[in-house]
């Protein structure tokens, strides 16, 4: 029998849990595991990032784009600390990630080089699941427990493996003796449905609504057909969270767009006028844009009962899978489409689309960033993925990029950390190398870590069947981070250094396109999407273009939205005022 080390056992467990790759930054304390991964010939593969933080974002991105479990590797000390950003991203967006941290404990107790308290460091982000490997015969079961917990709780977990343990030989299983824990990998999650009485109560509430709004989050994935059928049956309008943007076809006439500060006035108006709210798989933090307290009666569906009622009071909480719960509701809800309410919603959507077109066409110096995203909408491939960073690019994505149905888009939705998009894009491309990927990045995020991770792209891309990975960099030179209406400062300390992003890509053997004229934006996208290798599209844009967050709308009508002649007159006056404000 060939001698097996603990590192070999870890690799076996990764394979058993169908983990295709682990992201990390190599170091002495994790070297035995990296060597074991290298010996496999690529299954699972070790993907070295340029930094531990981006490795953790890659692991979170893998979980987001694939629905699987992400894995990241690091060593003790500062290397472990730098995993936290990606792990918190996974925690707050409910994605399973397993962090495996190597530790060198050869020094004296309390005096080892780079020693920090890993249990305390990871306790919060890993929901108290931080386990240390102690004996070779226990490591397999320990890894299984970490993976099972991550999958069941949709959150990160951490396993710490001393280097000496990774190198230790694993005894024959028959010699383990009594009391050794054994485990098997990969149990499917249970089917979850609410109780019949709760479904009946929810159906009664929804059937009695006059002006229904449906707010859809990432938990609505795979439930698009049921959501649309429910909206049609109730005559409802639909809005989404940022994470829920890819769930539905945004061209639907009653789809008001993204809710919140980065979103649309139409979505704010929907929330302001509704008397009934159905929340599907969302934990959207933009509570300022929710209905006023006691304005709307609410049904909330979520697979995680801990999230119900945390953003808005839920009259009927339904813990269950979105698609199956909606199907159970549809068999109970009596169709009574409110045509007048639906017509009001669709008018609001039409008005917003007109305003959006005017904003895109507005003159800017040199290029309007909204135009850049609008031009991508007409060219976005019908399959593939979009990774979105934090900053002003998030506003333009939310409002002006229409995603084709089936395109997977991901972002750091709850943590809101810059520097996530390019690591996400690498993870998405590795998961589906035959599909195009677009990363939407600001110049701040690009300087934060994107320039370095382009090295990773240059190292990997020749193994991709479809080489298209387009990195849009909105170069607005705005040191303050968000742009959005402020006049650029003449003080050089307030201006971000101008970097030749497209030129840097070309130095790495990638393609690079720079555009600073609005009439050439479409052609620049065509060139980038037709390139025979990954491409950086650098768009030099105006930092003074206003972000224009929508106001929570219809505030005067919340709770007073009646169908009498006087109320209709007031509503029409408010609609005219809102439309005029949007044109400013």
Classify 350 as helix, strand or coil. helix
Tokens 């394979």 belong to which residue?
15
Q: In this structure, are 200 and 219 located in the same domain?
A: yes
For residue 566, what pLDDT is reported? Answer: 38
For residue 380, what pLDDT is reported? Answer: 95
Q: In this structure, are 337 and 375 located in the same domain?
A: no
For residue 378, what pLDDT is reported? Answer: 92
Does residue 187 sit within a domain? no
CA–CA separation, 508 vs 115, rounded Å? 37
Q: In this structure, are 62 and 168 located in the same domain?
A: yes
Q: In this structure, are 249 and 340 located in the same domain?
A: yes
Q: In this structure, are 278 and 335 located in the same domain?
A: yes
Q: In this structure, are 455 and 480 located in the same domain?
A: yes
Q: In this structure, are 339 and 263 located in the same domain?
A: yes
The residue with greater pLDDT, 367 or 559, is 367
- Give the pLDDT band (50/70/90) at residue 112: low
Q: Could you say which of 175, 208, 235 is where a domain stops?
A: 175
Does residue 559 sit within a domain? yes
Counting the structural domains of the chain, the total is 4
Does residue 306 sit within a domain? yes
Q: Look up residue 114 and give its DSSP letter.
A: T
Is the confidence at residue 559, as pLDDT, over 50? no
Q: In this structure, are 337 and 367 located in the same domain?
A: no
Is the confidence at residue 188, as pLDDT, over 70? no
Q: In this structure, are 303 and 236 located in the same domain?
A: yes
Does residue 212 sit within a domain? yes
Q: In this structure, are 138 and 110 located in the same domain?
A: yes
Q: Give me the percent of the chain exceeding a pLDDT of 70.
A: 87
Does residue 181 sit within a domain? no
pLDDT tens profile 416-439: 999 999 999 999 999 999 999 999
For residue 335, what pLDDT is reported? Answer: 76
Residue 137 phi, psi dihedral angles, 5° rounding: -70, -10
Q: Are 323 and 197 in contact (CB under 8 A)?
A: no
Q: Are 160 and 182 in contact (CB under 8 A)?
A: no
Does residue 574 sit within a domain? yes
Looking up residue 430, the CATH number of its domain turns out to be: 3.40.50.970
- Give the pLDDT band (50/70/90) at residue 9: very high
Does residue 549 sit within a domain? no
Q: In this structure, are 309 and 421 located in the same domain?
A: no
SS (H, E, C) 7-62: HHHHHHHHHHCCCCEEEECCCHHHHHHHHHHHHCCCCCEEEECCCHHHHHHHHHHH
Query: What is the arithmetic mean of pLDDT over 342-363?
Result: 97
Choose the weakest-confidence range: 306-310, 364-368, 385-389: 306-310
Does residue 108 sit within a domain? yes
Is the confidence at residue 523, as pLDDT, over 70? yes
Q: How far is CA 577 from the centre of its chain?
A: 35
Q: In this structure, are 344 and 392 located in the same domain?
A: no
For residue 487, what pLDDT is reported? Answer: 52
Q: Give me the percent of the chain exceeding a pLDDT of 90.
A: 80
> Tokens for 280?
């599907």
Residue 73 phi, psi dihedral angles, 5° rounding: -120, 145
Residue 175 phi, psi dihedral angles, 5° rounding: -100, 10
pLDDT tens profile 28-50: 999 999 999 999 988 899 999 99
Range of the domain at 572: 554-583
Q: Could you say which of 315, 330, 351 is where a domain stops?
A: 351
Q: Under 8 Å CB-to-CB from 348, ≥6 apart: which residues?
A: 237, 256, 265, 266, 269, 270, 575
Instruction: Return the percent helix, strand and coil in the chain, to nearest 5.
Output: 45, 15, 40
CA–CA separation, 85 vs 509, rounded Å? 30
């Amino acid at each position: 029998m060939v001698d097996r080390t603990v590192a070999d056992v870890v690799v076996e467990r990764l394979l058993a849990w169908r983990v295709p790759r682990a992201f990390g930054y190599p170091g002495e304390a994790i070297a035995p595991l990296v060597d074991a991964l290298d010996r496999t010939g690529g299954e699972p593969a070790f993907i070295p990032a340029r930094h531990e933080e981006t490795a953790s974002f890659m692991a979170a991105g893998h979980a987001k784009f694939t629905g699987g479990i992400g894995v990241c590797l690091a060593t003790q000390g500062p290397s472990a600390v730098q995993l936290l950003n990606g792990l918190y991203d996974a925690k707050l967006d409910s994605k399973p990630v397993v962090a495996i941290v190597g530790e060198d404990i050869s020094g004296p107790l309390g005096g080892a080089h780079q020693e920090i308290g890993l249990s305390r460091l990871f306790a919060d982000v890993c929901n108290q699941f931080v386990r240390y490997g102690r004996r070779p015969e226990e490591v397999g079961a320990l890894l299984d427990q970490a993976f099972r917990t991550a999958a069941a709780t949709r959150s990160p977990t951490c396993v710490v493996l001393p280097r000496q343990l990774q190198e230790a030989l694993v005894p024959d299983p028959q010699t383990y003796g009594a009391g050794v824990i054994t485990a098997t990998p990969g149990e499917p999650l249970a089917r979850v449905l609410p109780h019949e009485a709760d479904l009946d109560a929810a159906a009664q509430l929804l059937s009695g609504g006059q002006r229904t709004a449906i707010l859809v989050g990432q938990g609505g994935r795979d439930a698009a057909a049921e959501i649309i059928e429910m909206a049609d049956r109730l005559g409802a309008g639909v809005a989404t969270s940022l994470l829920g943007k890819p769930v539905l076809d945004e061209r639907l006439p009653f789809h008001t767009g993204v809710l919140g500060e980065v979103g649309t006035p139409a979505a704010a108006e929907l929330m302001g006028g509704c008397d009934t709210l159905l929340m599907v798989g969302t934990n959207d933090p933009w509570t300022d844009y929710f209905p006023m307290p006691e304005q709307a009666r609410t049904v909330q569906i979520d697979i995680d009962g801990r999230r119900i009622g945390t953003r808005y009071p839920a009259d009927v909480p339904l813990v269950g899978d979105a698609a199956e719960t909606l199907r159970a509701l549809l068999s109970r809800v009596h169709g009574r489409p409110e045509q007048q309410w639906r017509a009001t919603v669709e008018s609001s959507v039409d008005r917003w689309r007109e305003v959006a077109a005017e904003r895109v066409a507005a003159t800017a110096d040199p290029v309007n960033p909204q135009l850049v995203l609008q031009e991508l909408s007409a060219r976005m491939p019908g399959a593939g993925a979009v990774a979105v960073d934090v900053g002003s690019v998030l506003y333009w994505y939310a409002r002006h990029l229409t995603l084709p149905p089936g395109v997977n888009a991901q972002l750091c939705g709850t943590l809101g950390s810059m520097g996530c998009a390019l690591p996400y894009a690498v993870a998405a491309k590795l998961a589906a190398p035959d599909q195009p990927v677009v990363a939407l990045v600001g110049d701040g995020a690009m300087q934060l870590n994107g320039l370095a991770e382009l090295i990773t792209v240059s190292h990997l891309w020749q193994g991709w069947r479809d080489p298209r990975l387009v990195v849009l960099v909105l170069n607005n030179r705005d040191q303050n981070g968000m742009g959005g209406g402020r006049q650029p400062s003449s003080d050089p300390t307030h201006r971000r250094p101008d970097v030749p992003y497209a030129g840097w890509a070309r130095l790495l053997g990638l393609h690079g396109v720079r555009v600073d004229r609005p009439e050439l934006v479409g052609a620049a996208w065509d060139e980038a999407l037709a390139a025979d290798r990954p491409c950086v599209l650098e768009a030099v844009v105006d930092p003074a273009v206003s972000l224009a967050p929508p106001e929570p709308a219809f505030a005067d009508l919340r709770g007073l939205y009646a169908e009498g002649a006087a109320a209709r007159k007031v509503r029409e006056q408010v609609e005219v005022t809102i439309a005029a404000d949007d044109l400013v």
